[in-house]
Structure 1
Amino acid sequence: MSHFSPAVTDYWRGRFGRGTVAHSDDNFQLAVHSGLDGDEDEQLMVLVTVGGKTSVILSPDLADRVRIIDGQVISESDFRSGLDGADMALHGADNLFYFTDDARDALIAEPPIGDIRRLTAADDAIFTAFESVASEQDLDNSQVELDHWAVFGSFDNGRLVAAASIYQWYEAPIMDLGVVTLPRFRGQGHAKRLVRTAFRYACAQGYEPQYRCQVSNEASSALAPAAGLTLFGTLDVIAD
């Protein structure tokens, strides 16, 4: 069994335990929380852990649309049937990866590898040049930004060929990450080394690393375990 940091497990337990828990058993939990009404992206969230438990939290308005009634016994199939009946779609799940306790210890003890360094505002020119040759789709998918909490670049003969940035996940002690490599330099280990370097830095600052990508993104989903992370589960939200 994988052992993840309490920073991870406590965060998700708290995230989905807010409001009124309408149903909870070993396999399915559903909570209704009025505090979600002001945030469109989070009015409905679904977390499925690798252990097989599905947790749902949604706003009262959406609970009414899905026909969740106080005191009603509800199963996951009831919930998903309610979504279909209300013509409500989910965005498409993200994989959530974290380091296990042992893997994090190994990461922290590992010496730096590769031609990688921290990027700052002084690197604006080389970062702009890097962006100019990366595809718009790659940049949009990765969400790597020079003004994020910490940014790292991997170089090949002095040229920036891959970049990763980390930023705080809401107000949790967790750092999310984006990474992008120029196409002709893929398959050379740049992204893997960047992920480990950025996350080693996050650990040193007291944060828990989080790697998140669309389930449908096979390359990104393969990079996470290659970089030493373990799948925790999937997260989905209501579609726009």
Structure 2
Amino acid sequence: MPGEDTRTRARALWEGLAGTPVSFPRAGGIRVVVSPASGLCPAGWTGVVVLGGSALVTAPDGGTATSVRDALRGLPADVDAIRGALPATGVLGPAALAYLSPDRFRPAAAPPTVERLPGDHPALRALEGAAGDDDAGEAALEDITSPAFVVRERGEVVAAAGYRAWPHRTAHLSVLTAPGARGRGLARRTASAAVAHALAGGLLPQWRARPEASRRVAAALGFEELGAQLSVELDPGSPTSGWA
């Protein structure tokens, strides 16, 4: 199980990103707050983060918050149950949230050679082009603030990982592998180098992912899933009581 310090740091991160003074409720609870500046979701959406069996939900205004509370009353702090109760015109997620305690880290084997590149190197943009918009968008390599840790084959970067510095000394991981190079452990090796770099700086590695393959890479490195994140664009015309 992840250490208490890891759980505390993860909760503190998302409480800060909520954009208003708030804390997670006790286990099993759902807390809904008004926060137009929430970092849990795009502007104007409703954001949901479930950690350790409790849920924090941000709404863009008071009316929406009231309707969300009514819709979620009596539900468990479960991301799928929450998603099912909210009428939506747009949804992002849910994505699993996993974190790594230093003593749980399982580094990948060293070979093949992992090279370090600047985060804005053109070779990374070429990798994104080869991977396609969906996978490149999921990885968000263009957002990293760390060096990029890469593997080359025949001179081309075929796998890369790095992280973006988030608040509360959190390292948000990004990992991408070219379609033709998948299934050979390259994501694990590049991610391992990025995680080692983050841990050396005293950062908390965070892995947010929807694809099962990505979640398996995180688990192989020692990450443990503590919860999930969901963003919902609510349907203003829903017949749900209080919405229309």
Given the two structures, how large is their TM-score scaled by the length of structure 2?
Answer: 0.74
Which one of the candidate residues 135, 139, 143 is aligned to 1:142?
139
SS of corresponding position for 1:36: coil
What is aligned with 1:26?
Answer: 27
Which stretch shifts more, 10-19 or 126-135?
A: 10-19
Which one of the candidate residues 115, 118, 122 is aligned to 1:117?
115
Instruction: Check conservation: 1:119, 1:146, Cα contact below 8 A.
Output: no
One-letter identity of the residue aligned with 2:75: E
Question: C-alpha distance in 1, partners of 2:22/2:202?
Answer: 32
Which stretch shifts more, 91-100 or 145-154?
A: 145-154
What is aligned with 2:231?
Answer: 237
Instruction: Check conservation: 2:139, 2:175, Cα contact below 8 A.
Output: yes
List alignment gaps of at least 5 residues for structure 2: 235-244
Question: C-alpha distance in 2, partners of 1:122/1:144?
Answer: 9
In the TM superposition, what is the alpha-carbon distance from 1:133 to its structure 2 partner? 3.0
List alignment gaps of at least 5 residues for structure 1: none
Which one of the candidate residues 167, 178, 183 is aligned to 1:182?
178
Instruction: Check conservation: 2:18, 2:40, Cα contact below 8 A.
Output: no
What is aligned with 2:65?
Answer: 63
Aligned residues: 226
In the TM superposition, what is the alpha-carbon distance from 1:103 to its structure 2 partner? 1.1
Distance 1:150 1:63, change over 3 A: same
Deviations 1:49-108 (A, max 9, x none): 3x433332334242133365xxxx943369959954x6576433111111134214x55x
> Is 1:75 the equivalent of 2:89?
no
SS of corresponding position for 1:41: coil
In the TM superposition, what is the alpha-carbon distance from 1:142 to its structure 2 partner? 1.6
What is aligned with 1:103?
Answer: 104
Alignment of 1:183-198 (within 5 A): 183-198=179-194
Instruction: Give the share of equivalent positions with the same residue, in percent.
Output: 25
What is aligned with 1:164?
Answer: 161
In the TM superposition, what is the alpha-carbon distance from 1:27 to its structure 2 partner? 0.6
Instruction: Check conservation: 1:199, 1:209, Cα contact below 8 A.
Output: yes
> Is 1:226 the equivalent of 2:224?
no
In the TM superposition, what is the alpha-carbon distance from 1:118 to its structure 2 partner? 1.3
Instruction: Check conservation: 1:19, 1:31, Cα contact below 8 A.
Output: no
One-letter identity of the residue aligned with 1:76: L
Alpha-carbon RMSD: 3.7
Which stretch shifts more, 189-198 or 7-16?
A: 7-16
Question: C-alpha distance in 1, partners of 2:132/2:36?
Answer: 38
